[in-house]
Structure 1
Amino acid sequence: MSLNRTNNIKQLAEEELDVLILGGGINGAVAAASLAAKGVKVGLIDKGDFAGATSSNSSNLAWGGIKYLESHEYRLVNKLCKSRNNLMKHYPSSVTEVRFLTTIQKGFRFPVWFVFMGTLAYWLFGRLFTMAPKYLTRNTIKQLEPSIKVTGAQAGFEYSDAFLKDNDSRFVFNFITAAAKKSAIVANYVESVNAVRENDQWVIQAKDKTNDQAFTIKAKTLINACGPLVDQVNKGTKQKTSHHHLFSKGVHLTVDRISKEHRVLAFFASDGRLFFVLPMGSKTCIGTTDNQVESHQTSVTDEDRQFILDNANTLLELDKPLTKDDIIAERCGVRPLAIEAEEGVADWVALSRKHAIDVNKADKHISIFGGKLTDCINVGDEVADIIEDLEISMNRSDALWYGEPADQVKAKFMGEVEEFNIDKLTPKGALEPLSSRFWRRYGEDAFVLVEAIKQNPAKANLALEHTEFTWAEIDWVAENEMIVNLDDLLRRRSKATLVIRKELLDNAEGLEAISKRLFGDDAQQKMDEFRGRTNFNRI
């Protein structure tokens, strides 16, 4: 495995690739992991950090798409439920079942019994993989969730979907790691400045954005997995496609924990769209908005904040109304929605998150549109089929290219943890034992962390106040997770900035020490840059 930026950039400049992927979000990450597992010589670059855009701004759900039942997209719901189940099966530590509790207000556009029948149909589409839905009276709702305001509600129900125990960007990064372990050459903060097709290959002029050094990458095939930037990048490479993107803006706010239960509260907001109150460790995430925007470059507005706060205050029984001062952090991203080019202006609200892949066989160019985390495995499989059809050689086998390590590997890890009492060293106040955290976040590499703690128990000590990072993790991350800025560590490799107020992190004990470990002589500059940032938190 190589997650050393300097070495990887050198390799990208020296080796001719079968495939170069532009974009390190979920689509690019699964494409790289799938192809690398099949022996394809693949590279991946992103002009920012991995999972730096849409893939770090989701609701952290692996969602089967219950709302698409209303628009009669039964095939899509069937596909997404199957994909959700597959993620739960193969990532049992990371993707877990979570109950949704929904109330239906008086005057809603459908009768309660009809909506409840929809949850039963959804359960059937999900192949009975989760717990069955339950119909709930107003009294039962109040007993289960005192935080729900039942005034005006007719009744409600519970149903199940899946939830990411870590954040979405961490889940994406683990696909990047899996690709690198299979010899993919990956690098963040590397921009494709220009790409042209010459002599049956793509010649990409690239730039390392950390030092402005230019270099050339050559590849037989080019995959555009740039998420919201797919259309813009295709203009630069003169690609004409059947699809293009429309954008829907989604905003989430983090506040102190509202519900004591680990369940998602799902409502229909004042404009009729779904609205969630989501568990996020010791905090609660509320949202999201769903507004069409013209550009992927968007931000949280006062109107967005007020919409979310107003709906939360209307739907929840709180000790006191939520205000802007209660916002710990906020995040904003766009959902790229795939649309057929000939459709012109579409009813964007009705558009689903299904993906589309356009192929230019003559140029050996692939564009990936739309999609969502739930459907990521299908994207990886489809890309591999297309690459094979483009006559790029690969090794096909029955071995899965995704999933957590085998049960016997986990059993061995847990045996070592128990033998050396590693969990007894879990820092005070941590939300889970070290063994659970290490295994879920690092997989087989967790053995290295345990060995480091065995050699020096002080490595289990908390490295950064208000977080759960141990020194064993910081040492590992420094060498193996391509951390270029503190944002990479605290926003995308973890969810620290999403659950901790900025002023607390800015002045956290240990920030200087971990910065020195990560950046050496550049530590002060990196801290100053981090403290000057406001785009991931409330302004």
Structure 2
Amino acid sequence: MSLRTAQLARLREDAFDVLIIGGGINGAVSAAALAGQGVRVALLERGDFAGGTSSQSSNLVWGGIKYLESRDFGLVRRLCRSRNRLLDAYPTRIEEIRFLATLRRGFRYPRGFMWAGTWLYWLFGNAYTRPPRLLSRADIAAAEPCVALDDSGGGFEYSDAFLPGSDARFVFDFVRAALDAGAAAANYVEALHAEHGADGWVCRARDVDGDGAPFDIRARVLINAAGPYADAFNTQTSTRTTHRHVFSKGVHLIVDRITAQRRVLAFFASDGRLFFAIPMGSRTCIGTTDTRVERPEVTVTDADRDFILDNINRQLRLERPLTRADIVAERCGVRPLVVDGQGGDERDWLALSREHAVEVDPRAAHLTIFGGKLTDCLNIGEEVTARIAALGVAVPQRGARWYGEADTPQREAFMHQAQAIKLEASAAPGATEPAGARLWRRYGARAFSLLDAIRDDPAQAEELIPGAQYLRCELALAARDDMVVRLDDWLRRRTLIALTTHADELRAAPGVQEACRVLFGDEAERRFAEFVQEKFPSGH
């Protein structure tokens, strides 16, 4: 029986303390926090886990330096402290990274004023990271020759943090932690309707990827963590709230690596907003846009592509300007921004932040999580736990550690074993990090089983797809533990493969066919055809 099949059976048969709708970062971290402290939890996601906003980020884990301009100092302080907690708890999955910011002459603030702002930012973060530096034109030229300096008066350098791997994988790890703690969770399960009665909530759901037959799930408390669809689900359940969402579309483009240095290049785009070039494995992620939209369903337009390409070409000295033909992959999603009541006019829009809000209806035993971002996830988990306890739900292991990586001795033991089997000797050329470090970052203590597989069969240490930095041995682990239902779940959300490899190359890669056989067995051909039809609907 597959992991997902077992979870579907539990959803049908068990009763729960808490049912969470939505498997993005808010839902995943809530499930991990509650299950990790002994609460009986169920989690539903109508698509794949982290299939929406949570897989369309910039991979930055940052304190929101841009909010200094709007004088939202309390938020900056909280986000900086949240970033520090994540750096402590996930020392291999989240890394400090330097941001090199270049300013143009005539910018709205003097360079010295901006540099002073980075020191304030550093102090808000308890001086946790490396201190800022003021940079001259010569300093920038020496550090990053690719930066165009014709109209620059210099810049500055400061630290924040980022995910060197997949943002969606980081979210899924919270789902995995919840499962390990006893939660029931399944992707591709849609909540059709939910009603509250004397005995709690009854949610009618269906398996989107199965026969679609409806079934009921029972829980005492319902948490709406549907992200940009939270308002729509509240309408469906006749839940009235003070808060609501407005939407900002953000687009990032993935291109070939712009700089060999492991740092973020920061600029101010033509619309005055911060604009980044961020390392992503063997590629660079550039963006973003910030366009107000009315609905959460969004796509990348040519205007989005041209805005990003025009801005990056203006800021860099490249052998040739980047064009649409240089785009390897794209990210496009909405940021659900929180407003009160009927707020959200143009003035409010410009000042809106990613701060979250948790709204509770005690009589209906219902919570809605509005807004939020990855940096703030641990705070959301803790706040949700406190709100659930206040509703009278027992939290048997309150205060138990529910997040973080395995301890240092385990990591050191893994690295020692990886060295003993000469894992790095089989590394593919062009790898951006050692294979042992990469496997530990992705899987933690589960990575020991990968070393066992390599000992039994050295071919398991081979790269599955050229340039993808993914070993053959990882497939069996993904098939067992990662609840992969469709090929894109694996290519785009459990890994970065679809973001760092051209779609045409994936369609032709023998490693993708091999992955289908391992992940889907008898359904391999159907799942591959499904992927091709989605990515190449015209047959090209």
**For the Cα contact (< 8 Å) 2:468–2:500, is it kept in 1?**
no
Aligned positions of 1:346-495 closer than 5 A:
347-495=348-496
Corresponding residue SS for 1:193: strand
Structure 2 residue identity aligned to 1:524? E
Task: Encode CA deviations 1:148-179: one digit per residue, 9 max, x unaligned.
Answer: 11111122000000010102101101111111
**For the Cα contact (< 8 Å) 1:264–1:276, is it kept in 2?**
yes
Corresponding residue SS for 1:27: helix
Instruction: Report which stretch shifted further, 221-230 or 137-146.
Output: 137-146
- How many pairs are equivalent? 536
Q: CA RMSD in A?
A: 1.6
Mapped pair 1:28 → 2:27: yes
Corresponding residue SS for 1:161: strand
Q: Which residue of 2 is the match for residue 225 of structure 1?
A: 225
Give, in angstroms, the shift of residue 408 of structure 1. 1.7
Task: Encode CA deviations 1:236-278: one digit per residue, 9 max, x unaligned.
Answer: 0111111100100000001111112111111110011111111
TM-score by length of 1: 0.97
Task: Encode CA deviations 1:22-79: one digit per residue, 9 max, x unaligned.
Answer: 0110000100000001100001010000000000000000011001011011110000
Mapped pair 1:57 → 2:53: no
Q: Which residue of 2 is the match for residue 330 of structure 1?
A: 330
Q: Which residue of 2 is the match for residue 43 of structure 1?
A: 42
Give the distance between the partners of 2:386 and 2:497, measured in 1 at CA: 38
Give the distance between the partners of 1:116 and 1:431, measured in 2 at CA: 31
Instruction: Report which stretch shifted further, 146-155 or 19-28.
Output: 146-155
Give, in angstroms, the shift of residue 313 of structure 1. 1.0
Give the distance between the partners of 1:430 and 1:304, measured in 2 at CA: 31
Corresponding residue SS for 1:108: coil
Mapped pair 1:12 → 2:8: no
Q: Which residue of 2 is the match for residue 156 of structure 1?
A: 155
Q: Which residue of 2 is the match for residue 297 of structure 1?
A: 297
Give the distance between the partners of 2:2 and 2:271, measured in 1 at CA: 45
**For the Cα contact (< 8 Å) 2:99–2:265, is it kept in 1?**
yes
Aligned positions of 1:506-525 closer than 5 A:
506-525=507-526
Instruction: Report which stretch shifted further, 425-434 or 518-527.
Output: 425-434
Give the distance between the partners of 1:382 and 1:128, measured in 2 at CA: 26
**For the Cα contact (< 8 Å) 2:354–2:373, is it kept in 1?**
yes
Give the distance between the partners of 1:421 and 1:54, measured in 2 at CA: 39
Task: Encode CA deviations 1:287-332: one digit per residue, 9 max, x unaligned.
Answer: 0000100000010011101100110111111111111111111110
**For the Cα contact (< 8 Å) 1:94–1:166, is it kept in 2?**
yes
Give the distance between the partners of 2:435 and 2:467, measured in 1 at CA: 16
Flag structure 1 segments of 5+ consecutive residues without an equivalent: none
Instruction: Report which stretch shifted further, 336-345 or 108-117.
Output: 336-345
Distance 1:156 1:169, change over 3 A: same
Give, in angstroms, the shift of residue 399 of structure 1. 3.4
**For the Cα contact (< 8 Å) 1:123–1:133, is it kept in 2?**
yes
Give the distance between the partners of 1:3 and 1:443, measured in 2 at CA: 22
Mapped pair 1:316 → 2:337: no
Give the distance between the partners of 1:3 and 1:307, measured in 2 at CA: 45
**For the Cα contact (< 8 Å) 1:337–1:370, is it kept in 2?**
yes
Structure 2 residue identity aligned to 1:132? P
Mapped pair 1:263 → 2:263: yes
Give the distance between the partners of 1:428 and 1:251, measured in 2 at CA: 31
Task: Encode CA deviations 1:490-532: one digit per residue, 9 max, x unaligned.
Answer: 0000111111111001101222222111112221111112122
Distance 1:129 1:535, change over 3 A: farther
**For the Cα contact (< 8 Å) 1:463–1:474, is it kept in 2?**
no
Structure 2 residue identity aligned to 1:437? R
Q: Which residue of 2 is the match for residue 285 of structure 1?
A: 285
Instruction: Report which stretch shifted further, 96-105 or 430-439.
Output: 430-439
Distance 1:223 1:513, change over 3 A: same
Give, in angstroms, the shift of residue 3 of structure 1. 7.5
TM-score by length of 2: 0.97
**For the Cα contact (< 8 Å) 1:426–1:434, is it kept in 2?**
yes
Structure 1 segments (4+ residues) deviating >4 Å: none
Give the distance between the partners of 1:151 and 1:429, measured in 2 at CA: 33
Structure 2 residue identity aligned to 1:176? V
Give the distance between the partners of 1:113 and 1:420, measured in 2 at CA: 52
Corresponding residue SS for 1:471: coil
Instruction: Report which stretch shifted further, 463-472 or 210-219.
Output: 463-472
Corresponding residue SS for 2:473: helix
Give the distance between the partners of 1:350 and 1:180, measured in 2 at CA: 38
**For the Cα contact (< 8 Å) 2:65–2:76, is it kept in 1?**
yes
Give the distance between the partners of 2:27 and 2:178, measured in 1 at CA: 10
Give, in angstroms, the shift of residue 427 of structure 1. 4.0
Task: Encode CA deviations 1:472-498: one digit per residue, 9 max, x unaligned.
Answer: 110110111111111000000011111
Corresponding residue SS for 1:533: helix
Flag structure 2 segments of 5+ consecutive residues without an equivalent: none
Q: Which residue of 1 is the match for residue 527 of structure 2?
A: 526
Q: Which residue of 2 is the match for residue 251 of structure 1?
A: 251
**For the Cα contact (< 8 Å) 1:29–1:172, is it kept in 2?**
yes
Structure 1 residue identity aligned to 2:356? H
Give the distance between the partners of 1:97 and 1:24, measured in 2 at CA: 27
